[in-house]
Structure 1
Amino acid sequence: MRPFFSKAIAMALFVLIPAFASATALDQLKSFSTNARSAKGEFSQGQVKGGDKARITNLASGTFIFSRPGKFIWTYKKPYEQVLQADGVNLYIYDKDLNQVTVKKLGNALGSSPAAILFGSNDLEKSFKLRNAGAHGGYEWVEAIPKTKDTPFEKINIGMKNGMPEAMELYDSLGQLSLIKFTKFTKNPPVSASTFKFVTPKGADVFRN
C-alpha cells in the first residue's frame, strides 16, 4: 500500500475513534441498528449464578449470521447442535440429535425479545424503553425494558464497545440472569437471500406450530 493511502486510513481511524468514545451507549446502539444491515460472528452464553462470587453455568456457544429484518441463522455448536433459522416469514428450530424440525410463523415473534435488538427492524423504541445504564465490565450499557408484558424478559442490557454490541445481560421474569458475549463481530458482510432458505435435513420429522 502506498504511504499516502496508509496515512489517509490512519487519519480516518483517528477521526472515528473519538467519535465512538464521545458517543453514548444509546447513540452507539441506535447507530448500529440503523447501519448494520447484516452481520456475522460467534457467541458464547451462560447463566449467571451467585452474587459476589458469581459463576457461569449452562455454557453454550456457536455462530450467528443475520440480515435485517427478520432473517438469521443462530447455530449452537456446544454442548449440543441446534439451529434456529428464520427466512423473514418462518422460524425453523432444528435439533440435530432428535433429527427434528419445528416450524413457527415468525410474525411478531421477535417483538420485544433479545433477537429483535440484533435481527429485527431498526425501530427499537417501538418495542423497548431505552436508556443509558452506565459502564461496567469494560462496556457502556443500554438498558432496554420491553413495552409489552408478553415476554419472558423483565429487561435486557446491551453492552456496547466501539459502536458494536459485544454483550447482553438478559433478566427474566424468574429473576435469573443470562449473559451472552459476541466475538469476531463483522458488520455488513455480503449476504445473499438464499443463505436463509431452510433446507429440511434428510429424514427429519417436521412439526408445525
Structure 2
Amino acid sequence: MPKLIQTAIFAACALALSGTAFAGALDQFRSFATTTKTARGQFTQRQVKAVQGSPKVSNAATGTFAFARPGRFVWTYLKPYEQVMMADGEKLYLYDKDLNQVTVKNLDASTLGSSPAAILFGSNDLEKNFVLKDAGSRDGMEWLDATPRSNDSTFERLSIGLKDGVPRAMELRDSFGQLSLISFDKFDKNPALPADEFKFVPPKGADVFQQ
C-alpha cells in the first residue's frame, strides 16, 4: 500500500476515534438514549446535606438496577437497608423490607416524565420534559445538565456524567437543597432480560397501600 494512502487511512481512523472519545455530553447522551433499549448494573448512592453551614456526606447505599424502555425499571437498594422501586409501565411499586410494606402508584407519562427515573429509564423524548445542555468536563467525564421544564418537579436540577457513551454518574439536587450523588459501578448495555424482570409480586404478609 502506498505510504501516502496508508497515512491518510491512519489519519482518518484517528479522527474518527477522537470524535467518539471527545464527543460532548449531549451528543453522547442522545446516542445512548436511542441505542440503549435495556441495561442493568450496580450503583452507589450518597446524600449530601448542609449541617450548620457545612456539607455532610451520608454513608454509601449500594444496590442494583435494570431497565427496559419505555418506562420499565427496577431500582433495588441492598445496603444498608433493603428497598425496591419498580415500574412495570403502568404501576410504580415502592417496597420497604423492614416495614414489610408496599406502596402502589399509577405510573402515567407525566409522573415518569418529570422524575429522575425518566432521564435513564424513560422514553427518548427527554427534551419535552427537560432542558438539556452540555456542562463541560470534570472528574474524567463529560457532564450534561437537565433542568425540568415543569415547576411541579421535586428536583431543581439533574446532572449526568458520561464516559465512552455511557452514564457513569448522576447528581440530583432537590427543592430542599439536598444533593444525591450516584455513581454507576457497572453498566451493561442491551442485555437480554427475562420476561418477568419487571413483574412485582408483593411479599407474603406485606401491607399494600394504593395511592
Shorter-chain TM-score: what band?
Answer: 0.7 to 0.9
Residues 1:185 and 2:187 are matched in the alignment: yes
Counterparts of 1:1-209 in structure 2, within 5 Å, are 17-49=17-49, 56-107=57-108, 108-209=110-211
Structure showing greater radius of gyration is: 2
Indicate how the Cα distance of structure 1 residues 16 and 37 shifts in structure 2: closer, same or farther if over 3 A, else same: farther
Separation (CA, whole Å) in 1 of partners of 2:48 and 2:102: 29
Count of residues in Structure 1 that have an aligned counterpart in Structure 2:
196
Identity across matched positions, percent = 59
Separation (CA, whole Å) in 2 of partners of 1:138 and 1:23: 13
Separation (CA, whole Å) in 2 of partners of 1:142 and 1:192: 31
Separation (CA, whole Å) in 2 of partners of 1:144 and 1:161: 17
Q: Secondary structure at the match of 1:142?
A: strand
Query: Which residue does the alignment assign to 1:8?
Result: none
Segments of structure 2 that go 5 or more residues without pairing to the other structure are: 1-12
Query: Which residue does the alignment assign to 1:9?
Result: none
Runs of 4+ in 1 over 4 A off after TM superposition: 13-17
TM superposition shift of 1:14: 7.6
TM superposition shift of 1:16: 7.0
Separation (CA, whole Å) in 2 of partners of 1:101 and 1:118: 24
Letter in 2 for 1:59: A
Separation (CA, whole Å) in 1 of partners of 2:115 and 2:59: 20
Separation (CA, whole Å) in 1 of partners of 2:125 and 2:146: 13
Letter in 2 for 1:174: F
Superposed CA RMSD in Å reads: 2.0
TM superposition shift of 1:110: 1.3
Letter in 2 for 1:60: A
Separation (CA, whole Å) in 2 of partners of 1:14 and 1:179: 35
TM-score by structure 2 length? 0.87
TM superposition shift of 1:94: 0.9
Separation (CA, whole Å) in 2 of partners of 1:100 and 1:144: 32
The C-alpha deviation readout for 1:74-100, integer Å capped at 9, x for no partner, is 000011000111110001111111111
Segments of structure 1 that go 5 or more residues without pairing to the other structure are: 1-12
The C-alpha deviation readout for 1:163-206, integer Å capped at 9, x for no partner, is 00110111111222211111210000001332111111111111
